[in-house]
Structure formats: structure tokens, C-alpha cells
């Protein structure tokens, strides 16, 4: 099997399975909120896991909230911030190429009376900074951006955006969706200067069901889930030690292998790009995109046909982001980047992880050649 769909999800790594197994079979199954010995054991382990996450991400453990997924993190951050800060500006600035979990939250806030302004993105997938400049003012309450786009790998010019905010809208908060950049780009929350950020474990060889939300000390956010007041009241519900450990283990591993993986994947990406261009493919990912994502349009193959052709070779890729691929419309991300419909309906996404190898990339190209030989159809 060749798995080139790592932006959709990844397979759990051995370290994650090991810690999960220990937590589920050992004596740490107590409720971290209990006052007895079992509870204290569990809560000690839980705090340790969260501490590990905090040290990998360079923040304070008190600034991290364990959630169920990236979507919950995004919802809590965006909605929670706007509702908790009635005196902040009422305008949110974002782009049309955000993940659906951001776009839908913004749409819902719009219905509630907030204003949302969308900065256009260019062919390089980056927001138009001049346009952003003209939009920033003292009514700007929140900026929502994605660190790395899930469909194209386009990287946000974070430093420039942070500078613009500093001069033009210093009171606006900055939320960053780091789901795709985690484990691939260096994440140092202190240096990055963001106020809120979201993460997910299953994109970095953890498991589904656990994400993180970073909220910088001093930023007020109202919780989405209320109840017993766990996690400082920011996310009620009994804390799960196994999930905390999964998050910690997958983060630790991702950070340990990050630099090597980047080099290996850059090689794979470069090789595939060159070989595919030779075969008439169009690369939709910007030149300076993160090498872990390669969005490419194959000549004479609709996205879904190519996906199924590769499936026959036990190779797995994605049409667009898996969350939205059941809707038949061409990718809204590519559309926003000004890529025409014909190209975008032939586009697929290859996405890599530290477990992919150059051998796999070579087999992939071999498969593509065979697919062209047997299945190319061009009906006029």
C-alpha cells in the first residue's frame, strides 16, 4: 500500500499505540477529577501529558485545552472569542480558502450580527496583503487564518500579517489554524505571536478524537461545552488520559522527526513534480508551498477517476479535502485561487508524511504511466 493521503488522516504510529494500550489496560483509568488515589494517579499522568504538549509547542500548560478535534478547537476559538469580548471590534477578517470548520463558524457569526470580511487570495494561495491593509482598522476584532492550506499546502506569510496587525489593528486577536502545519513546520507559539491556535492529533500519526486549542494567557474566550468546569471551565467533560497521552506522544514523535521528514518529503515532492509535469500534469500547489501537500491536475482524468485508478494499484490519494469530497462541486479553494474549472475538476491532492519513501514515489510514477496506457479517455 502507498498512502499519499496524509492530510486527510494518518496511521497511528507505534508510540501512540503503545501508550494507548498502557493507558487502557493499566491502572490509570481513574477519573482525573476524583479525590482518591486512582484519581490522583490519573490526574498526575494527565498533567504530565499536557506538560509535554506545552513544552513541544513552547507555551504554558494552562494555555492548552484538550478538545475532540480541530473543528471543535476552531469553533471554540472563533465563536468563543467573539462572544466573550463584547467590547472588541465586531469585524472578523479571514479568507475564502479556510477550512470549512472556520468558514461555517464565520457564516454563523455573520447571522448573529458580526461582520466578516474576506481577503482575496492570489494564485500563490496567499492573502492579498494590500487588501488586508485596507481592511484592518480599529473595528477589527479578530483575524482568522490558516497556517498551511489543507488542499494546496500554501503557507501563510504569518510574519507580515502579524506586523500589519501590530501597526493597523493592535487590539485585534489573531487565530491560526495549525492543523496542517503541525509536525511539518516549526511551531513555537511564543515566537509566532498568535493569540489562539488549533491542532489535531490524527494528522500527525495520533488518533481521531483528540485535538488541542491554544489560548494565550490573557485572551478571553467563552467555552463551547459547559458543565463540571474541567480544564479551567474552558471545556467541561471528564478529561481523558488516553487521549491526552496520544496527543503528547504524537506531538513528541512528530517534533523529533520533523526536520528529517521535511528533507525526505521535499525530495519526494520535487521528484513527483518533475515527473508529473513531464506527463502533462498541471501543478496547482504554489511553488513555495509546504512540500507535504502536492495538488496536481492530471490531463484527461477527472479527479475521481484518477483516485479509483490509483486505488486499483493500492495507492491512496484524495480528490479534495476528505471532509468535503462527498459534495460534487469542484474545490472552492482552487476556485478562490483563480484556477479554472476544467483544471480543478481534474485535480487531486497527494499528501505525505514521514513514513513515505522515495521508492513509493517511484512506484507511484510507474502506476501513473500504466494508468495512462490503459485508462486514458479523451472524449470530445
- Helix then strand then coil, in percent of the chain rounded to 5, is 45, 15, 40
Spatial CA neighbour of 98 closest among 190, 175, 191: 175
What is the nearest approach in angstroms of another protein to the Cβ of residue 104? 20
141-153 CB burial, b ≥16 within 10 A, e <16:
bbbbbbbbbbbbb
Task: Report the relative pairing of strands 140-146 and 173-177 from DSSP bridges.
Answer: parallel
What is the nearest approach in angstroms of another protein to the Cβ of residue 117? 32
Which is closer to another protein, CB of 138 or CB of 341?
A: 341
d(C-alpha 260, C-alpha 254), whole Å: 10
Spatial CA neighbour of 332 closest among 150, 147, 69, 71: 150
d(C-alpha 243, C-alpha 227), whole Å: 20
d(C-alpha 202, C-alpha 9), whole Å: 6
Which is closer to another protein, CB of 277 or CB of 323?
A: 323
Which is closer to another protein, CB of 268 or CB of 371?
A: 371
* Residue tagged active-site, from 13, 53, 144, 323: 323
Helix crossing, 241-278 with 358-375: angle to 10°? 60
User: Residue 18, SS3?
Assistant: helix
What is the nearest approach in angstroms of another protein to the Cβ of residue 303? 10
What is the nearest approach in angstroms of another protein to the Cβ of residue 139? 40
Per the CB < 8 A criterion, the answer to whether 204 and 10 are in contact is yes
Which is closer to another protein, CB of 248 or CB of 310?
A: 310
Spatial CA neighbour of 149 closest among 342, 20, 284, 276: 284
Q: Which residues sit at the interface with another protein, rule CB under 8 A? A: 302, 304-305, 308-309, 311-312, 326-328, 374-375, 377, 379-380
d(C-alpha 289, C-alpha 283), whole Å: 11
Which is closer to another protein, CB of 263 or CB of 379?
A: 379
What is the nearest approach in angstroms of another protein to the Cβ of residue 348? 13
What is the nearest approach in angstroms of another protein to the Cβ of residue 258? 36
Element (H, E) at 192: helix 189-192
Which is closer to another protein, CB of 315 or CB of 350?
A: 315
Establish whether 323 is a catalytic residue. Answer: yes
What is the nearest approach in angstroms of another protein to the Cβ of residue 94? 27
> What is residue 377's DSSP assignment?
-
Spatial CA neighbour of 179 closest among 138, 147, 208: 147
User: Residue 373, SS3?
Assistant: helix
Active site residues: 323
Amino acid at each position: 500500500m502507498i498512502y499519499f493521503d496524509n492530510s486527510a488522516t494518518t496511521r497511528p504510529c507505534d508510540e501512540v499505540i503503545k501508550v494507548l494500550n498502557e493507558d487502557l489496560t493499566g491502572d490509570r483509568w481513574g477519573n482525573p477529577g476524583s479525590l482518591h488515589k486512582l484519581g490522583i494517579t490519573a490526574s498526575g499522568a494527565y498533567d504530565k501529558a499536557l506538560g509535554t504538549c506545552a513544552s513541544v509547542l513552547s507555551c504554558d500548560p494552562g494555555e492548552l485545552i484538550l478538545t475532540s478535534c480541530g473543528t471543535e478547537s476552531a469553533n471554540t476559538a472563533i465563536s468563543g472569542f467573539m462572544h466573550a469580548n463584547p467590547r472588541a471590534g465586531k469585524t472578523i477578517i479571514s479568507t475564502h480558502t479556510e477550512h470549512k470548520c472556520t468558514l461555517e463558524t464565520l457564516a454563523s457569526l455573520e447571522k448573529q450580527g458580526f461582520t466578516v470580511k474576506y481577503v482575496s487570495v492570489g494564485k500563490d494561495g496567499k492573502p492579498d496583503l494590500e487588501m488586508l491593509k485596507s481592511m484592518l482598522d480599529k473595528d477589527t476584532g479578530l483575524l482568522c487564518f490558516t497556517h498551511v492550506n489543507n488542499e494546496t499546502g500554501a503557507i501563510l506569510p504569518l510574519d507580515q500579517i502579524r506586523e500589519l496587525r501590530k501597526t493597523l489593528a493592535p487590539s485585534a486577536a489573531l487565530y491560526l489554524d495549525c492543523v496542517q502545519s503541525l509536525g511539518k513546520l516549526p511551531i513555537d507559539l511564543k515566537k509566532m505571536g498568535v493569540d489562539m491556535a488549533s491542532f489535531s492529533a490524527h494528522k500527525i500519526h495520533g488518533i481521531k478524537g483528540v485535538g488541542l486549542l491554544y489560548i494565550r494567557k490573557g485572551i478571553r474566550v467563552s467555552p463551547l461545552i459547559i458543565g463540571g468546569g474541567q480544564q479551567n471551565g474552558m471545556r467541561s467533560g471528564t478529561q481523558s488520559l488516553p487521549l491526552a497521552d496520544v496527543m503528547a506522544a504524537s506531538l513528541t514523535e512528530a517534533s523529533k522527526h520533523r526536520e528529517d521528514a521535511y528533507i525526505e518529503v521535499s525530495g519526494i515532492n520535487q521528484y513527483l513534480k518533475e515527473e508529473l509535469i513531464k506527463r502533462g500534469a498541471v501543478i496547482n500547489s504554489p511553488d513555495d508551498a509546504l512540500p507535504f501537500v502536492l495538488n496536481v491536475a492530471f490531463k484527461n482524468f477527472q479527479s475521481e477517476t484518477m483516485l479509483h485508478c490509483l486505488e486499483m494499484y493500492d495507492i491512496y490519494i484524495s480528490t479534495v479535502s476528505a471532509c468535503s469530497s462527498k459534495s460534487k462541486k469542484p474545490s472552492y479553494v482552487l476556485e478562490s485561487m483563480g484556477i479554472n474549472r476544467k483544471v480543478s475538476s481534474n485535480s487531486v491532492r497527494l499528501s505525505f508524511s514521514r513514513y513515505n519513501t522515495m521508492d513509493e514515489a517511484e512506484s507511484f510514477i510507474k502506476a501513473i504511466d500504466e494508468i495512462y496506457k490503459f485508462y486514458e479517455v479523451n472524449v470530445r
